[in-house]
Structure 1
Amino acid sequence: MLAHSRQLITCLGVFLALSYRTAAQNDPKLVLQPATGNLTTAIDSDPFIECTVQPQTAKGAVANVRWLDPEGNEIGDKGLNNRKYTKNAFGGTFGRSLKFFKGQKDDSGLYKCVADFYGHDRLETGVYVVFYEDIKFEDAPTLQHPLLNTAGKVRCLVSGNPAPIVEWWHNQAIVTSGGRYRVETDGLVIEDIGVEDNGEYTCTAAVPEMGRSIERQINVEVHSAPEFKADGLPKPARGLEGRSASMECEATGIPMPEIKWIFVPNGEDVTKLEHDEQKTRRHTVDPVTGTMNINDLKKVDQGQYKCMAENAAGRKEETAELFVAEKPRFDVVTNTTMHENKSATIECTVRGDPAPTLRYIREGTELPITADTDPRYVLVENERELRLTINDLQRSDDGLYTCEASNEAGVETKASHITVQFAPSFANTPMHVAKTWMGNLEAVNITCIAESIPNATIRWQQRIINSPHHLPTKDITEQMEQDGYKIENRGPSSSLLVSAVSYDIFGEYLCIASNELGESTHVVRLLQATVPKPIASVRVEELTATTVRFEIISPNDDENLILEGYDVFYIKVATEENFQQAPARSWPIGVPYTVEGLEPGRSYRFRFYPKNRVGVGAAFDKEVSMPEIGPPRPPTFLPNGNDTSGEATRYRLQWQEPNDNGAKIVEYKITYWKASEGREASRVVTTRAPASSYVLTGLEGGTTYQVEIVARNERGFSAPLELFFTTGHGRFSSHALSSAQGFHKIDPVEGDVQLSTPVIIGIAVAAGLLLALIIDLTCFCTRHAGLTHWLATRLCGKSEKLKNHDVENIRHTETDQVDKASSYLIFSNLAYHDSNKQNGSNTANRTQSDDTNLYERIADSGFCEGDEQGRYQVGATRSLSMGSLVQLETDV
Structure 2
Amino acid sequence: MYACEVQESWQPRVSPPANQLERLATGTDLYLVCQVSETEVGKDNVELLWYKDGTAMTRQKIRKNGFIQASLAFVKPTKAETGNYTCKATIGAENKEETVPVEFFERAGFVESESSIHPQEGENAKITCETIGDRLDEIFWLKNGYQLSEADERGYQFEDDYRTLIIPDFFGEKDDGNYSCNVVQFAQIYSKDISVTAYARPVITVFQVPENNAGFEGSSATFKCSAHGKPSPTYKWFKNDEDNSMVELNASDKYKIDDGLLGINYLVDSDAGQYICEAENEVGNSKQNTTLIIHRRPKIERMEDVTTVLGNSVELICSINSDSNISDAYFMFNKQKYAPHSKDTSISYETVTDDSEMETTTVDDSEEESEEAETATVGTSVSGEEEEENNDDEEEDVETRKRRAIIDDTITVEWRDEKLVLTIPNAQMSHMGRYSCHAENMAGTTYDAAKILITHAPVFTNVSEKYIRRQEGESAFLFCEVSAIPAADMSFEHGSSQVYPDGVNVQLESTNDKLALSFNSLQDSDFGTYQCSAKNTQGSAEPAVFEIIKIVPPKDPEAISCADNVYPNFAVCRLDGYDETKRGEWPTRFQVFYTNEEPTEEFDWENSATVTEASFVDGKSVKLTGLNTEQKYFARILAVNEAGEGELSGVIPFETTAAWTPEPVIDAVINCPDVCSVNWTIPNDRGAEITGYKLVFRETSAVQSEIEDSTTIATPEIIETTTDENDDDSAAENITAEDFTDGEEEDDESGDVREQITINVGADDHHVDLPQLLPLRNYELTIYAINEVGLSDPTTYYFRTTEKSGLATLFPLPNWAVITLFVIVGLVLAIMLDAFCCKTRHCGVLACLTSHCRNRRNRAPKDIEQGNASGEHRVLITTTEKQIIRNDH
TM-score under structure 1 normalisation? 0.34
Question: Which of 1 and 2 has greater Rg?
Answer: 1
Q: Which has the higher contact order (CA 8 A, sep 6+)?
A: 2
TM-score under structure 2 normalisation? 0.34
